Structure 1
Amino acid sequence: MRDLIKEVFTSVFHPDGMEDQARLQADALSEPGARLAFTTDSFVVDPVEFPGGDIGKIAVCGTVNDLAVGGGKPLWLSAAFILEEGVEVALLRRIVASMAAEAKKAGVRIVTGDTKVVGRGMADKVFVTTAGVGVIPPERDLRAEHVQAGDVVIVNGVLGDHGAAILAARGDMALSADIVSDCQGLGHLMEAVITAAPGLRAARDATRGGVASVLNEIAEAAGVGIEIEETALPLRAEVRGMCEILGLDPLYLANEGTLVLFVPEDQAEAALSAMRTTEAGRDSVAIGRVSPGAAGRVTMRTAFGGQRIVDMLVGEQLPRIC
C-alpha cells in the first residue's frame, strides 16, 4: 500500500510532507469578513472513463464548481479512493494524471487524501470522494433567496451533453453518437461574471436532475416564478435526437460543466459578454426570466407558442451518472 500511494498518488499530487493532515495557509483568509466555503462529494460514474473525461476529472471539476457557484475561490482539495482488488494500476495512473491536470487548470491543490482497497466484486474499479475548501470574499453573498422578478436566466452552454455522453458510452442501447461530456471547471468563468456583473444574484451548476431541477429549486427558495423559452435552449442535434429516441427530456439530463445564473436585467448583457470571452462560456445565452407570479412554478413557452409546466424530476434519475 505504501508503494502504491507513493508511486501513483503522492508522486503526482506532491503534498507538503506525509503528515496525517494538511496544514494550510492563505492570505485570503486574513481579509476581514472573508468566509470559508467547504463542500464534499462522492463519484461513482460508470464507465470510469468516458468521452470528454474520467472519474478523476469529474471529481475535481465537480468539487471546484460547487465552491465557485457560491462565490468561493477554490483553494484546496482532498481526495479519497476506494479501489477494487485487481484494478489496473495503469488506469489509476490515468485517473490521477487527469486529476492533477484539472487541478492545475483550476488553480487548486490536492493536499491530502486516503486510499483503501476492497475485495473483488465489492466495488466497481474505483470510487472517488473529494472535499474542497475555498474562500468567499467579504463582499460576495450569492443566494437563491436574492433572486427577484425581472432577473434574466443565463446558461453558459449546451445542455445535457454529460448525461447523453455517459448513456452512449455504456453501450447498453446500441446507440452510436459522437457526444462528448461537458465536464469542465467553472471557477474562472464565475470570476469573470462576478467582475462584469457584480449584482449577480445566484448561480448553480446543473448536475444531477439537470437545468429543470435547478430552476425549480431556485423558484421555490426565492418564492418566484420562472419562465424559459424553448427556442432559446442550446441543445446539440445529437442530444435532442437521443432524447427523442429514448423518451428523455434534455432539461433533466445531467451536466458537469453547465452554470445556471440569475442576473439583474441591467447587467445581463455585461454578464453574457464577459462569459463569452472564456473557454467555458463562449456559447452562453439567456434562456428566460424570473416572474413575480406563480411562486415556485417553472414554465416553458414552447416553440408553438403554448406553455407547459417544467416540474421537478418525477421518477428515477439515471444511476451512476457522476
Structure 2
Amino acid sequence: MSEPPQNGQTPSRPTDAPPIRFRDEQIEMSHGAGGKASRRLVEGLIAPILHNPTLAALGDAARLDLGGVHLAMTADSFVVNPLRFPGGSIGELAVNGTVNDLAVGGARPRALVCTLVLEAGLEAGVLRAELEAMADAARAAGVEVVGGDTKVVEHGKADGVYITTAGIGVADRRLSLSAGSVQAGDRVLLSGPIGDHGITILLARGELDLEADLESDTRAVWPFIHALAQAVGEGVRWMRDPTRGGVASALNELARETKLGVVLEEEALPVRGPVRGACEILGLDPLHIANEGQFLAVVAAEHAQAALEAVRSVPGGEEAVLIGEVREKPARTVLTRASYGGTRVVDMLIGDPLPRIC
C-alpha cells in the first residue's frame, strides 16, 4: 500500500503513462524554457533522484503540515535580460514570481528570503534600483524580505544580477487544490490577457525591428485568489500561473496528469493586439508566451460564473474570462476550437523561442 500524501493536498490521479526518462547528454537553454525539455529534465532526472511524497506533487508550491500548522513553501530564480523593461524589472519579478507560486498553491504569501548573485563591475546604482523595486513589490504584495545571502562572481559571469528567492505562506483552508479533483465539465478561468510579459522582454532586448506599446503584466495575484476563495471556496479545483511555457504548457501538464482533455475557445482567449501582431510576425503562439501576472483556475461548472465575477470584482481583474472546459475526450490533449468549428492541438512548448524572460 502506498503512503498517504504528506503535503496536505488531495492525491493526484494515478497515471498509466510511461515514466519520462532523461537521455540528453548535456543541458541546453531549452531545458529552462518551461516546455517539453524542461519536463524531461524535472520529471526524468531531478524529481526521481530527490523523490519524496511531498515533491511528488510537482506543484508550484509544496504544502506542509508542521505540527498542525499548514504552510506552503516555494523557491524561484530570476535571470531576466535586460534587467529593466517596460512595466517592471528583475527585482519586481523576483517578488511577484515567488508570491504567485504560493498563491496558486492555495496559500497566502507571508515572507521571502532572497539570494543575490552579483557580477563584479555592476554599478551600485543598478543594484540600489533593484533592491528598491523588490521593496516596493514586497509592500504591495503584503510580504517582507526577512533574510538572504549575497555572492559576487567574476565579471561576465552573471549578466549583472541573478536573484533567487524562497517564499513561505500560510495555506488557505478554504482551498483544496489538486489535479486529482478536476472533473469533466469543469470550466477554465484565465485572469487576463496573455503574452504581455514575454513579448515585452523580447522587444526590450532591441534585437528586432519591432515597436509596440506594451508592458509586462508582472503583479501579485493573491488578491484575486483571495476573492475566489471567499466566493466559491472548494469550487476551485486547481490553479497555476502560466509563466515559462505559457498557458499551453500549464494546461498540457494538467491534461497529462488527469488523463482528461481541455478544449479552449479560440475567440475567448484574451490577447492584446501588439502581442498578437508580434506573434504573427515571429511565428509564435501566444499560448506559449510567458506571463508574470496572470493565473489559470479550473472551477466546478456550477461555480464558474461566481468565480468569474469574483476575479473581475478586484481592481485589475476586469479582463478575466472563462476560456474553455475540461472534457473526457480527447484524453491528455489540449485543443482550441474556432468559431467556425475547426480545432487544433495545442502542444507543450518545444525549444526555446524567448531568451531569459524570467
Same topology, TM > 0.5? yes
Would you say 1:187 and 2:222 are equivalent positions?
yes
Would you say 1:49 and 2:76 are equivalent positions?
no
Equivalent residue for 2:289?
253
After superposition, give the CA deviation of every residue in 1:242-280 in whole Å (9 maximum; x if it has no partner): 001111011000000110110111111111111011123
Contact 1:68 1:186 in 2 (8 A): yes
Counterpart-to-counterpart distance in 2, 1:258 and 1:278 = 13
Equivalent residue for 2:313?
277
SS at match of 1:197: helix
Give the letter for the 1:248 counterpart: L
Give the letter for the 1:75 counterpart: R
After superposition, give the CA deviation of every residue in 1:183-236 in whole Å (9 maximum; x if it has no partner): 110111111111111110011000000001111011111221110010000011
Equivalent residue for 1:202?
238
Give the letter for the 1:226 counterpart: V
After superposition, give the CA deviation of every residue in 1:63-112 in whole Å (9 maximum; x if it has no partner): 00000001111111001101111111111111111111111111111000
Contact 1:67 1:73 in 2 (8 A): yes
Counterpart-to-counterpart distance in 2, 1:168 and 1:303 = 31
Counterpart-to-counterpart distance in 2, 1:34 and 1:200 = 22
Contact 1:33 1:138 in 2 (8 A): no
* Unaligned 5+ runs, structure 1: 1-28
Counterpart-to-counterpart distance in 2, 1:221 and 1:194 = 24
Equivalent residue for 1:291?
327
Contact 1:34 1:138 in 2 (8 A): no
Would you say 1:83 and 2:118 are equivalent positions?
yes
SS at match of 1:281: coil
SS at match of 1:130: strand
CA pair 239-137 structure 1, distance change in 2 beyond 3 A:
closer
SS at match of 2:197: helix
TM-score calculated relative to the size of structure 2: 0.80
SS at match of 2:316: helix
Would you say 1:217 and 2:239 are equivalent positions?
no
SS at match of 2:97: helix
Give the letter for the 1:49 counterpart: R
Counterpart-to-counterpart distance in 2, 1:126 and 1:31 = 34
Aligned length in residues:
294
Counterpart-to-counterpart distance in 1, 2:237 and 2:78 = 29
Match of 2:93 among 34, 41, 58: 58
Cα drift, residue 42 of structure 1: 0.6
CA pair 264-32 structure 1, distance change in 2 beyond 3 A:
farther
Contact 1:57 1:95 in 2 (8 A): yes
Counterpart-to-counterpart distance in 2, 1:280 and 1:66 = 19
Counterpart-to-counterpart distance in 1, 2:264 and 2:201 = 26
Give the letter for the 2:265 counterpart: E
* Unaligned 5+ runs, structure 2: 1-63
Cα drift, residue 52 of structure 1: 0.6
Counterpart-to-counterpart distance in 2, 1:312 and 1:205 = 15
Contact 2:214 2:274 in 1 (8 A): yes
Contact 1:225 1:295 in 2 (8 A): yes
Contact 1:154 1:288 in 2 (8 A): yes
Contact 1:227 1:301 in 2 (8 A): yes
Q: Percent identity?
A: 51
Equivalent residue for 1:263?
299
Equivalent residue for 1:308?
344
CA pair 157-139 structure 1, distance change in 2 beyond 3 A:
closer
Counterpart-to-counterpart distance in 2, 1:109 and 1:143 = 28
Cα drift, residue 139 of structure 1: 4.7
Give the letter for the 2:123 counterpart: E
Give the letter for the 1:262 counterpart: V
